[in-house]
Amino acid sequence: MSRTGTRLWKVVELTTSGADAARVNLSIFGRGQLAHWLRGGPSDRARYVDMHARSKDAPLFGAAVGGSTVLAAATYGWWLVSLPVLAAVVMGLGMTWHTRTDRPEVVGAVTFALLELDIAISVLLTGGGSSPLLALMLIPVFTQAVCFPPQVTLVWTVLCGLLSITVIYAAERLPQAPDAPAHLQTTCLVALLSCLALAARYLADADVHSRDEAVIDPLTGLFNRKALQSHFSDARARAQVTGAAVAVVMCDLDHFKTVNDVHGHELGDAVLRQLAQRLLASVRATDFVYRMGGEEFLVLMPGHDSHAAARAAERLRCDVASDPVAGLAITISAGVASACGEDINFSVMTRAADAALYTAKRAGRDRVHTAPATP
Residues 6 or more apart in contact with residue 258 via CB below 8 angstroms: none
Residue 125's alpha-carbon distances to 19, 131, 278, in angstroms, are 19, 8, 47
Which residues partner with 333 through β-bridges?
252
Task: Please report the pLDDT score of residue 51 as a whole number.
Answer: 65
Give the pLDDT of the chain (375 residues) as one tens digit per residue: 445 445 444 444 444 333 333 333 333 344 456 767 776 766 666 667 666 665 566 678 888 889 999 999 999 988 899 999 999 898 888 878 877 777 787 888 888 899 999 999 999 999 999 999 999 999 888 888 777 888 888 898 999 999 999 999 999 999 889 999 999 999 999 999 988 888 777 766 665 555 544 578 888 988 888 888 888 988 898 898 888 999 999 999 999 999 999 999 999 999 999 999 999 888 888 899 999 989 999 999 999 999 999 999 999 999 999 999 999 999 999 999 999 999 999 999 999 999 999 999 999 999 999 998 754
Task: Please report the pLDDT score of residue 97 as a whole number.
Answer: 81
Chain centre to alpha carbon of residue 243? 20
DSSP summary character for residue 80:
G
Which residues partner with 370 through β-bridges?
336
Is residue 328 a contact partner of residue 278, using CB atoms and an 8 Å limit?
A: no
Q: 3-state class of 12 per DSSP?
A: helix
Task: Please report the pLDDT score of residue 26 as a whole number.
Answer: 36
Which of these, 370, 307, 305, lies nearest to 343 by C-alpha position? Answer: 305
Domains and CATH numbers, the chain: 3-213 (no CATH), 223-370 (3.30.70.270)
Number of Cβ within 10 Å of residue 295's Cβ equals 21
pTM score of the predicted model: 0.60
Which residues partner with 247 through β-bridges?
301, 338
Q: How far apart are CA 281 and CA 274, in angstroms?
A: 11
DSSP summary character for residue 55:
G
Task: Please report the pLDDT score of residue 50 as a whole number.
Answer: 65
Is residue 156 a contact partner of residue 108, using CB atoms and an 8 Å limit?
A: no
Residues 6 or more apart in contact with residue 138 via CB below 8 angstroms: 192
